[in-house]
């Protein structure tokens, strides 16, 4: 049998550049997936997944929770970061050390040496759930990247440009893949196409995504 040295082995880490500052670290946290999912279960036992309402009055198909010193929320008043979970009136659960270590290490790998996330948005997609094209612009310090970890079912990530009309690249994100995103493409439009039916050994019929951010000082309250 001959081995092609250049073929990708299943689950071997490899890096894909989408644009300057936007990298996919494929299979970067595959081994940690079970422990990350266990942490998600512990966090969402305290701060349950919920379907937020957009300022325009629509119920998001993605269910969300957060950990860290602030969490991303949406309601009729708008999008913002809040130190309090509006569902429980308590602070969000702390960000686990293991989350922080992986996010910082992924950012370093992509060349962002000073990433200090204070918020981790946890997204849960059931079959058919999607995230329409959007920009992440509620953070006050756009010099810091965003680090995004995919777990459970795979999904197609759409990555566009600085305007909504720019053509999108499509990337399949599987469990263990990490997207690090900053610098010149920090404000690029992006989204997730409807998640297809499937079964993940540990996440069942869900895709789970963790996005780590540094929201900047002076959070809007």
Nearer to ligand MD6, 26 or 190 (CB): 190
Write out the two tokens for 23.
């990298």
Residue 146 annotated as binding site: no
Report the site for Fe ion in 105-144 (rule: CB under 5 A).
136
Asked whether position 192 contacts ligand MD6 by CB under 6 A, the answer is yes
- Could you give the CA distance from residue 174 to residue 200 in angstroms, rounded to a whole number? 10
Residue 143 annotated as binding site: no
- Could you give the CA distance from residue 186 to residue 142 in angstroms, rounded to a whole number? 7
Q: Cβ distance 121 to 211 under 8 Å?
A: yes
Shortest spacing between CB 12 and Fe ion, in angstroms:
27
Asked whether position 189 contacts ligand MD6 by CB under 6 A, the answer is no
Write out the two tokens for 209.
């995504």
From 124, 135, 118, select the one nearest 82 (Cα to Cα).
Answer: 118
| DSSP letter for each residue of 171-197 | EEE-TT-EEEE-GGGTT--EEEPPPPP
How many residues are there in the chain? Answer: 221
Shortest spacing between CB 175 and ligand MD6, in angstroms:
12
Nearer to Fe ion, 13 or 161 (CB): 161
- Could you give the CA distance from residue 36 to residue 181 in angstroms, rounded to a whole number? 21
Shortest spacing between CB 116 and Fe ion, in angstroms:
19
Shortest spacing between CB 179 and ligand MD6, in angstroms:
5
- Could you give the CA distance from residue 210 to residue 181 in angstroms, rounded to a whole number? 13
Residue 80 annotated as binding site: yes
Residues 6+ apart with CB under 8 A from 135: 187, 188, 189, 190
Nearer to Fe ion, 137 or 220 (CB): 137
Nearer to ligand MD6, 61 or 91 (CB): 61
Residue 212 annotated as binding site: yes
Residue 189 annotated as binding site: no
Shortest spacing between CB 129 and Fe ion, in angstroms:
14
Residue 59 annotated as binding site: no
- Could you give the CA distance from residue 164 to residue 189 in angstroms, rounded to a whole number? 6
Report the site for ligand MD6 in 145-184 (rule: CB under 6 A).
146, 148, 157, 179, 181
Helix, strand, or coil (residue 49): coil
Q: Which amino acids are annotated as binding site for substrate, given as ranges? A: 72, 79-81, 138, 164
Residues in touch with ligand MD6 (CB under 6 A): 123, 131, 136, 146, 148, 157, 179, 181, 190, 192, 209, 211
């Amino acid at each position: 049998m001959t081995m092609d040295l250049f073929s990708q082995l299943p689950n071997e880490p490899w890096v894909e550049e989408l644009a300057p500052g936007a990298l996919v670290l494929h299979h970067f946290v595959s081994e940690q997936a079970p422990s990350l999912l266990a942490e998600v279960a512990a966090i969402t036992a305290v701060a349950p997944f919920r379907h937020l309402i957009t300022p325009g009055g629509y119920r998001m198909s993605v269910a969300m929770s957060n950990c860290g010193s602030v969490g991303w929320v949406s309601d009729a008043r708008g999008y913002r970061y809040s130190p309090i979970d509006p569902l429980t009136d308590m602070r969000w659960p702390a960000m686990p050390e293991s989350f922080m270590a992986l996010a910082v290490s992924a950012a370093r790998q992509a060349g962002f040496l000073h990433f200090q996330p204070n918020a981790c948005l946890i997204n849960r997609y059931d079959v058919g759930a999607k995230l329409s094209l959007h920009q992440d612009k509620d953070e006050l310090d756009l010099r810091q990247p965003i680090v995004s970890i995919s777990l459970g079912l795979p999904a197609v990530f759409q990555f566009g440009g600085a305007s909504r009309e720019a053509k999108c690249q499509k990337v399949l994100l599987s469990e263990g893949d990490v997207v690090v995103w900053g610098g010149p493409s920090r404000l690029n439009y992006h989204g997730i196409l409807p998640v297809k039916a499937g079964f993940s050994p540990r996440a069942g019929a869900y895709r789970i995504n963790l996005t780590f951010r540094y929201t900047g000082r002076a959070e809007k309250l």
